[in-house]
Amino acid sequence: MSIARSERRPRGELTRVLVVDDEADIRELIDLTLARMGLDAECVGSVAEARGALNAGKFQLCLTDMRLPDGDGLEIVRYIGEHHVQTPVAVITAFGSAENAVAALKAGAFDYLAKPVGLEQLRALIKSALRLPDGSRVGDDALQTLVGDSPSMQQVRAMIEKLARSQAPIYISGESGSGKELAARLIHGRSARCDGPFVPVNCGAIPENLMESEFFGYRKGAFTGAENDREGFFQAANGGTLFLDEVADLPLAMQVKLLRAIQEKRVRKVGCVTEEAVDVRIICATHRNLRDCVDKGSFRQDLYYRLNVIELRMPPLRERLEDIAPLVDTILQRLFSGASPGLSAGALRALELYRFPGNVRELENILERATALGSGDVIEAGDLHLEAEDMGGEVLGRGSETLDDYLNRLERQAILEALQKTEGNRTAAARQLGVTFRSMRYRLERLGIE
């Protein structure tokens, strides 16, 4: 049995790692590896001993076997998640035990290793875990690119913070234009892999006959036209994150190869007889319902469970209408380096009634078009050119009244009410409506209000 490294060196001098395993040879291997990395190991052999060690001191990492004499590694994962949330924990599973690995990741484990433990993978995991931000390394500025304070967006930001502290595969669901790639970039940027590459791949844009060579690379001479060795997406993302957008578009034959690459953490280039290890975190997304694809037989169930360890749902814009106003301000500021045009109350109301089938991306297009074609310094409802069939029930079913007529009527009513409250004082009425006096004068002229 190995002697705990912490018993041979004064505590506090080195980064401390708790090792939990009832097999002496595994403890010895990990203990020796940690020592060569300049880390301080404390080795225990049971769940009870692990809890005692965790309560007695602070650790920067925990490595635990899945099977222990008095329980299993999931108990330690959950205990750390409840009482020592800043300590990442990785589990060691039996070879080919995919179910245990997925269960550990869902329980909150940072990552997993399969037996027999490979030293290269062990060292990579340890280095990655110790690079996790401590909460102060990365500020909140990046998360604010997810504009909006609606409850659903607050939940998304909190989920991103949690997911960034894990290596678990993530499935981001949501409609087109809802910000799935932005969320993936934020998870990567706030994770231990933030210094590594972020490689986005649109799975639906790759011809099927090029899939394998694009994902795994190829050797010179592997096929006609392969004049040089080439790295694939997995090699390009090594040490970082591979983002598979529209993953439901992958053909079944490629899904089999992807599943193996994820499980074994190894890939083989086309034309090569040997495999190479890759250290890649997978984040995938699609606007389609992946569960429905599994039921229809177009997506493998085993791959679905490996990719959908944790799901992050990006809400559509129509479910967070309170975020439209701040999104408009942010987009207009980005479109204009100087003073940006304002948005009339009628235009804002029109946007709030719109269904946004294209979500935030469509909002950006609408505003860019409105500012390019508009003539005034205020964007009016008519400048938005919204499709009536995508408006809410308040607009539909109003007989022959057009959308512009309806919005003009709302705007006229709001202005008249403000003028009445301010006894005809246009400056005060403009202030009450939240517009400039110049904008107020323009509206009065346009609407024919004396």
Stretch 159-170: mean pLDDT:
90
Give residue-wise pLDDT tens across range 105-151.
888 898 888 888 888 888 888 988 888 765 444 444 556 678 999 99
Phi, psi of 380, rounded to the nearest 5 degrees: -95, 165
DSSP helix/strand/coil, 322: helix
Residue pointed to by tokens 């790639």: 181
**pLDDT band at residue 13 using 50, 70 and 90 as cut-offs:** low
- Ranges 22-26, 184-188, 298-302, 383-387: which has the least confidence: 383-387
User: Does residue 382 have a pLDDT over 70?
Assistant: yes
**pLDDT band at residue 3 using 50, 70 and 90 as cut-offs:** very low
Per-residue buried b or exposed e for 398-429, using 16+ beta carbons within 10 Å of the residue's own CB: eeeeebeebbbebbbebbeebbeebeeebeeb
Read off the pTM: 0.73
Q: Comparing C-alpha atoms, which of 105, 257, 249, 240 is closest to residue 170?
A: 105
Structure tokens, 192: 């231990």
Give residue-wise pLDDT tens across range 331-381.
998 888 667 788 888 899 899 889 899 999 999 999 998 888 776 788 888
User: Does residue 42 have a pLDDT over 90?
Assistant: yes
pLDDT of residue 391: 63
Q: Comparing C-alpha atoms, which of 56, 60, 64, 153 is closest to residue 107?
A: 64
290 close to 173: Cβ distance less than 8 angstroms: yes
Spatial separation of the C-alpha atoms in residues 26 and 230, rounded to whole Å: 37
Spatial separation of the C-alpha atoms in residues 102 and 305, rounded to whole Å: 8
pLDDT of residue 395: 44
Spatial separation of the C-alpha atoms in residues 73 and 93, rounded to whole Å: 9
pLDDT of residue 171: 96
Q: How many CB atoms lie within 10 A of CB 443?
A: 24
Give residue-wise pLDDT tens across range 53-97.
999 989 999 999 999 999 999 999 999 988 998 899 999 987 556
Residue with more model confidence, 314 or 404: 314
pLDDT of residue 76: 95
Mean pLDDT of the chain: 85
**pLDDT band at residue 15 using 50, 70 and 90 as cut-offs:** confident
148 close to 329: Cβ distance less than 8 angstroms: no
Spatial separation of the C-alpha atoms in residues 287 and 351, rounded to whole Å: 23
| CATH fold label, 318-447 | Helicase, Ruva Protein; domain 3 (1.10.8)
Name the percent of the chain lying above pLDDT 70: 88
Spatial separation of the C-alpha atoms in residues 318 and 360, rounded to whole Å: 10
Stretch 143-171: mean pLDDT:
89
Residue pointed to by tokens 């086309």: 270
Residue with more model confidence, 319 or 448: 319
Name the percent of the chain lying above pLDDT 90: 47
Q: State the DSSP code for 203.
A: G
The three-state (H, E, C) secondary structure of 251-292, written as one string: CHHHHHHHHHHHHHCEECCECCCCCEECCCEEEEEECCCHHH
For the chain, the first-to-last Cα distance in angstroms comes to 93
- Cα distances (angstroms) measured from residue 259 to each of 170, 234, 255, 305, 430: 14, 13, 6, 10, 61
pLDDT of residue 34: 92
Q: What is the residue extent of each domain of the chain?
A: 5-130, 148-315, 318-447
Residue with more model confidence, 10 or 244: 244
40 close to 15: Cβ distance less than 8 angstroms: yes
Q: State the DSSP code for 175.
A: -
Spatial separation of the C-alpha atoms in residues 78 and 235, rounded to whole Å: 33
Bridge partner list, 284 = 171, 244
Q: Comparing C-alpha atoms, which of 183, 300, 184, 170 is closest to residue 248?
A: 300
Would you call the peptide bond into 316 cis, given omega within 30 degrees of 0 as the criterion? Answer: no
User: Does residue 244 have a pLDDT over 60?
Assistant: yes
**Residue 141 buriedness (CB in 10 A; 0-12 / 13-18 / 19+):** exposed
DSSP helix/strand/coil, 378: strand
Q: Best-predicted range by mean pLDDT among 8-17, 204-213, 375-384? A: 204-213
Looking at residue 122, its amino acid is L
**pLDDT band at residue 317 using 50, 70 and 90 as cut-offs:** very high
pLDDT of residue 103: 85
Q: Comparing C-alpha atoms, which of 403, 390, 329 is closest to residue 359?
A: 390
- State the architecture of 148-315 in CATH terms: 3-Layer(aba) Sandwich (3.40)
Q: State the DSSP code for 210.
A: G
Looking at residue 153, its amino acid is M
| CATH fold label, 5-130 | Rossmann fold (3.40.50)
Spatial separation of the C-alpha atoms in residues 230 and 309, rounded to whole Å: 31
Domains 5-130 and 148-315 share a fold: yes
Question: In whole angstroms, how large is the CA radius of gyration of the chain?
Answer: 28
- Ranges 229-243, 275-289, 340-354: which has the least confidence: 340-354
Q: Comparing C-alpha atoms, which of 278, 434, 421 is closest to residue 348?
A: 434
